[in-house]
Amino acid sequence: MELYFTNSENIAETEAEFDSFESRHILKTMRKKEGDSIHFTDGRGCLYLGRIVATKPLLKVQHELVKQLHWPPPTLTILGIGFIRPSRMDFLIEKTTELGVNRFYIFSSHFTTYFTKNSVRWEKIARQAIKQSNRLYMPDINISADYKKFINDISSIQYKFIAEQAASKKVTDILKKNLVNVEDNIVFIIGPEGGFDTNELNLAQKQGFVPLSFGEHRLRTETAAISAAFYINLLKN
Amino acid sequence: MELYFTNSENIAETEAEFDSFESRHILKTMRKKEGDSIHFTDGRGCLYLGRIVATKPLLKVQHELVKQLHWPPPTLTILGIGFIRPSRMDFLIEKTTELGVNRFYIFSSHFTTYFTKNSVRWEKIARQAIKQSNRLYMPDINISADYKKFINDISSIQYKFIAEQAASKKVTDILKKNLVNVEDNIVFIIGPEGGFDTNELNLAQKQGFVPLSFGEHRLRTETAAISAAFYINLLKN
């Protein structure tokens, strides 16, 4: 199934419109025409089947609702990521969204060397990734310049892990204990290149984050993040 | 520890030389000078400590052996990958080498749209990745235009998995059974975009490959490959 996306505010009861980015993709790249049927999601758990009724100025469809998952998502899969180089961050967002992350916190911390408040690019990448992986939840992307505030904000999440190469616990230790279906929110936070400083690590531990090691070998932030996203999948299944 | 690399043929008993790529990296980027000490590996399990004794035309060190792991690696972590777009393949090689893959087979199959016999670029990427993750094993990269021959060539590997979205077994099923340390060679093969055709899947199953699903959601080849590499780590730990 090819899946397309439009924001929920563009979806009325029987008609929906697509933005210029998506209209161009559907019409030019995928060569859809008036009368053709397409599947699309609002990224909030709804799957629609629509028939194209207009192509200019924007693509418009008449639609019916095919499937509706619970909104908000029943459990959260959260990644907290220290800012890294944009090209690597792009890849991280794409891969981890495919793997089912439905909330991001991108934070600035001691060893951060890059920072932007602009998440538009990542939202586009996430949109492509949910279409690719046939997911009906669009992740929301939060940007936080304040590590301390970010840690406090997410401290109520049930399962909290922080990546730390020197940690005595390994990812397999938790997995061996928890290979039952975890039906709760899980957050994994991963530092920028250079990791966390001691204060940051202590602060997270005080808030209940469990330091976990991916093994003795140093991983880049995006490699650890993709591994963490897949790891959360394993914990939840 | 910063780690550098030179081929074993450039390492004599007490002196070693670095190629122009690595010499430039060590001298220009890392600003090392005559007299400085550096760690380097031959990618075959040896870690050396050297002192720079010459910088022109190529960097030369006097060295001693610090650590020697078994060569060849005691167990193989193998990925078989259907060719994908070069930019995505670059990322795949980098991430999975960080995660400990020590042998690649990159194959052409029914749904392959891109093909090259040139592995030089990927060897450079793998070299950077072993340095990044402080690994002493350089993966070897094999390119196979013949899927059938490739499958036969690796059929003697003990644990064999093939990624198949529709498979009834999930990665977690195997993990639940095998959360003991698997001390044997493991291979995971992943198709190009579009996956495997029925004949290819049947051929692999006949040779003992177990079809495994990463879940109901479609993953891109490189996302499945990175997940597979992390998964093998979990099976081995």
Contact B136, B192 (CB under 8 A): no
**Helices and strands: H and E segment counts in chain A:** 7, 11
Whether A223 and B175 lie within 8 Å, measured CB to CB: no
Express as a percent the part of chain A with pLDDT over 70.
99
- Determine the pLDDT at residue B105: 97
Is B176 in the A-facing interface, judged by CB distances under 8 Å? yes
- Determine the pLDDT at residue A175: 85
Whether B223 and A99 lie within 8 Å, measured CB to CB: yes
**How far A179 CA lies from chain B's nearest CA (Å)?**
7
Contact A140, A106 (CB under 8 A): no
Taking residue A75's Cβ as centre, other Cβ atoms within 10 Å add up to 16
Q: What is the ipTM of this complex?
A: 0.91
Alpha carbon separation from A192 to A12, A107, A159 (Å, rounded): 42, 9, 21
Residue of B nearest to A99 (CA): B219
**Structure token pair of residue B175:** 């993990």
Whether A133 and B218 lie within 8 Å, measured CB to CB: yes
**Structure token pair of residue A223:** 């490699």
Is A131 in the B-facing interface, judged by CB distances under 8 Å? no
A183 compared with B197, residue with greater pLDDT: B197
Chain B residues inside the 8 Å CB shell of A179: 172, 175-176, 179
Which residue blocks in B42-119 are alpha helix, DSSP H? Answer: 86-98
Tell which residue, B184, B160, B170, has the closest CA to residue B212.
B170
Tell which residue, A225, A218, A133, has the closest CA to residue A187.
A225
Tell me the residues of chain B between 178 and 197 that have a Cβ less than 8 Å away from chain A.
Answer: 179
A23 in helix, strand or coil? helix
- Determine the pLDDT at residue A178: 65
Cα–Cα distance measured from residue A57 to residue A20, given in angstroms and rounded to the nearest whole number: 8
The answer to whether the Cα torsion of A16, A20, A25, A26 is positive or negative is positive
pLDDT digits (tens, 9 = 90+) for A106-136: 999 999 998 888 899 999 999 999 999 999 9
Cα–Cα distance measured from residue B50 to residue B61, given in angstroms and rounded to the nearest whole number: 5
H/E stretch holding A68 reads strand A60-68
Instruction: Please determine, for residue A180, whether its predicted confidence score (pLDDT) is greater than 70.
Output: no
Mean pLDDT, residues A194-213 taken together: 96
Mean pLDDT, residues A168-186 taken together: 84
Chain B residues inside the 8 Å CB shell of A233: 214-215
Cα–Cα distance measured from residue B148 to residue B163, given in angstroms and rounded to the nearest whole number: 17
- Determine the pLDDT at residue A179: 63
Model-wide pTM > 0.90: yes
- Determine the pLDDT at residue B174: 87
Q: What residues pair up with B106 in beta bridges, in sequence order? A: B81, B143
Chain A residues inside the 8 Å CB shell of B134: 217-218
Mean pLDDT, residues A70-95 taken together: 95
Chain A residues inside the 8 Å CB shell of B176: 179
Taking residue B116's Cβ as centre, other Cβ atoms within 10 Å add up to 13
φ, ψ dihedrals at A47, nearest 5°: -115, 130
Mean pLDDT, residues A88-107 taken together: 97
H/E stretch holding B124 reads helix B120-132
Cα–Cα distance measured from residue A178 to residue A184, given in angstroms and rounded to the nearest whole number: 12
Contact B35, B50 (CB under 8 A): no
Q: Best residue in A39, A193, A234 to probe B by mutation, most B CBs within 10 Å?
A: A234
Cα–Cα distance measured from residue B40 to residue B2, given in angstroms and rounded to the nearest whole number: 8
Cα–Cα distance measured from residue A121 to residue A125, given in angstroms and rounded to the nearest whole number: 6
ω before B72 within 30° of 0 (cis)?
A: yes
**Cα dihedral value B229, B231, B232, B237, nearest 10:** 130
**Which value, in Å, is the radius of gyration of the alpha carbons in chain A?**
20
Chain B residues inside the 8 Å CB shell of A172: 179, 234, 237
Cα–Cα distance measured from residue A233 to residue B112, given in angstroms and rounded to the nearest whole number: 29
**How far A152 CA lies from chain B's nearest CA (Å)?**
30
Cα–Cα distance measured from residue B232 to residue B237, given in angstroms and rounded to the nearest whole number: 9
Alpha carbon separation from A191 to A60, A175, A222, A232, B223 (Å, rounded): 43, 22, 10, 17, 21
- Determine the pLDDT at residue B179: 63
Taking residue B123's Cβ as centre, other Cβ atoms within 10 Å add up to 15
Query: Within chain B, which residues score under 70 in pLDDT?
Result: 178-180
Q: Best residue in B226, B235, B236 to probe A by mutation, most A CBs within 10 Å?
A: B226
Q: Best residue in A177, A223, A226, A236 to probe B by mutation, most B CBs within 10 Å?
A: A223
Whether A172 and B134 lie within 8 Å, measured CB to CB: no
A143 compared with B178, residue with greater pLDDT: A143
Question: Which residues lie below 8 Å from residue B127, measured CB to CB, with a gap of 6+?
Answer: B5, B43, B138
Whether B175 and A176 lie within 8 Å, measured CB to CB: no
Tell which residue, A95, A109, A140, has the closest CA to residue A204.
A109
Cα–Cα distance measured from residue A162 to residue A160, given in angstroms and rounded to the nearest whole number: 7
Query: How many Å separate Cα B147 from the centre of its chain?
Result: 19
Q: How many CB pairs under 8 A join A and B?
A: 80
